[in-house]
Each structure stands twice: as structure tokens, then as C-alpha cells.
Structure 1
Amino acid sequence: MYSASTRGYQVMRNPRQNAILEVYQLVLAVFLFVSPWLFAFVHGTLRVDTWVSAALVAVMSFGALIAFRDWKEWINCILGLWIAVSPWVFGFQHTAAMLVNLAIGILIAYLAMLELWLIHYGSSSEKTI
């Protein structure tokens, strides 16, 4: 069990309690990884960035399924935000790649932040010591 301090109390958390959120992030990463083929991304730079970002999210999500640590969720949140803004950074606005990266990036960041919130400020029905 993982224990996190919340406002002076020790909250006991089952590491598998929010594992479904990691699975969702892993599925989104796999979808993002195959999206250059599904949506025929023509820009090589954005295609490579999408593959690398998706692979990093998948590794972090899988790692969090094995051994959860807060920093893995923070990295996924940062990666999700990077995925969302990378079309503008690389100058590929108004393309299918932009829409895919924006949607998937926001979802990944949202799921990572949701998991962090649930861990630290979850329901009051959790066991406290």
C-alpha cells in the first residue's frame, strides 16, 4: 500500500485503486502512436514527435501500473501538455495532426491530473490512521 500525507493525516491508498486511469493513458498512447498512419501525417517532424511522445507516455503509464510514483503522473501531465501544443511549436496548425494531438494531449494531461487529485484529495471514505 502507498500512503500519502493529506493535511496531516496518513491516507492509505491501494496502488491498484486508480489503475484504470493508467490503462486509459496507455490506450491513448497506443492510439497516438498509430495516429500518423491512421490520419496520414505528412510532416516528418510532427510524425516523429508524435511517436516519441506516445512512446514516453506508454512507458510512464506502464511503469505506473507496475510501481506507482507521483512523479510518473507529473511527467505524463507534462507530456500531455507538450503533445497538445507541439503542432503550434512545429508550425503545423490547421491539420488533422493538430486535432489529434490536441485532443489526445489534453486527455492524457487530464487523466494524469485526475489521478494525482484522487490520490491526494480522494473521497473521504478512504481509511485514515
Structure 2
Amino acid sequence: MQSHDPAPLSSVASRTRLVMARPSALDLYTLACGAFLACAPWLFGFARPTGRVDSEIVGVAVMALSIAGLVAFADWEEWLKVALGLWLIAAPWLLGFVHTSAMHVSIAVGIVVTFLSLLELWLAHDADFAGDDAAKSDLL
């Protein structure tokens, strides 16, 4: 008769927590934001073509950068997502689709993408969170 040792279960749980705690897990959330943004013109029926095109292009760009961040983390990917998030916040006024459903979606997703990208940058460079000597030596 086989006995079930709880040690393998706890090691799997700790490895899962370690993977989900990594900043790259935040890329999954920004990937979902990009997918939502790319599909938003059909979900909400954007009336103005500028809002529709902006949403589709920026959504695909956020998805591409999130996938690149999942494959190999680099600061430049996160800074580009920050720039895209800030663009989404300013785009309704710059492109002229103020007071539309596209404006509300653009601003909301822009805030979330900017926040998640800045959080990922912060966590990647936080010596206590990273737990490795490389991040600690960056601070010295």
C-alpha cells in the first residue's frame, strides 16, 4: 500500500506561489487587458472610427509586449507598456473621441495597464521581493 506524503504537495504549492509571485505573472493581466482592448470595439460598438482603430492597434501592441515580457523580461517592454497606457489615457482628447464609450474603455484600460506595468517594474527591482543578489547589488 502506498502512503501519500504531503511533502510533494507542499513543494508544488510553494513552486506555484513562487511562479505566480514573479512579476511576469502581471504580464498575464496586461495580456488580458490588451485582448479586452482589442475586442472592445465589437463589445461596446464604438461609433467613431478613430476610437475603434486606436483601441485595436494599442490592444494588439499591449498583447505583443505582454507576450514578449512572458518570454523574457526586459525593462524596455514595461516602459513601452507604461507609454501605451498613458497614451490610452490621453487618446480621447488627442484623437477626438471624447464622451463616447471608447473614451471610457480607453481611460480605464490605460490606467490598469500603466499601473500593472509600473508595479512589475517596481517588483522586478525590489531587492526584498526579487530575493536574489543581483537585484540587491543594483541598489548599492
| TM-score interval, smaller chain | 0.7 to 0.9
Alignment of 1:49-60 (within 5 A): 49-60=54-65
The AA in structure 2 aligned to 1:78 is A
Aligned length: 115
Give the percent of matched residue pairs that are identical in Structure 1 and Structure 2. Answer: 40
Mapped to 2, the partners of 1:48 and 1:125 lie a distance apart of: 38
Structure-2 change in CA distance of 1:65 and 1:93 (3 Å): same
5 Å-filtered alignment, 1:1-80, equals 17-80=22-85
Aligned partners of 2:122 and 2:114: how far apart in 1?
A: 12
Task: Report which structure shows greater RCO (CA 8 Å, sep ≥6).
Answer: 1
1:111 Cα shift? 0.4
SS in 2 for 1:99: helix
TM-score where L is the length of structure 1: 0.83
Superposed displacement of residue 125, structure 1? 7.3
The equivalent residue for 2:123 is 118
Would you say 1:104 and 2:104 are equivalent positions? no
Deviations 1:69-119 (A, max 9, x none): 110000000001101110111111111111110000110011000000111
2:50 corresponds to which letter in structure 1? T
Q: Larger helix proportion, structure 1 or 2?
A: 2
Over the residues paired in the alignment, what is the CA RMSD in angstroms? Answer: 1.8
Residue 88 of structure 1 aligns to a residue in which SS? Answer: helix
Deviation at 1:122, TM superposition (A): 4.8
Equivalent residue letter for 1:17: R
Cα 1:64/1:124, change in 2 over 3 Å: closer
Which structure has the larger Rg over C-alpha atoms? 2
Greater percentage in strand: 1
Gaps of 5+ in 1: 1-13
**For residues 125 and 89 of structure 1, do their structure 2 counterparts lie closer, same or farther at Cα, with a shift above 3 Å needed?**
closer
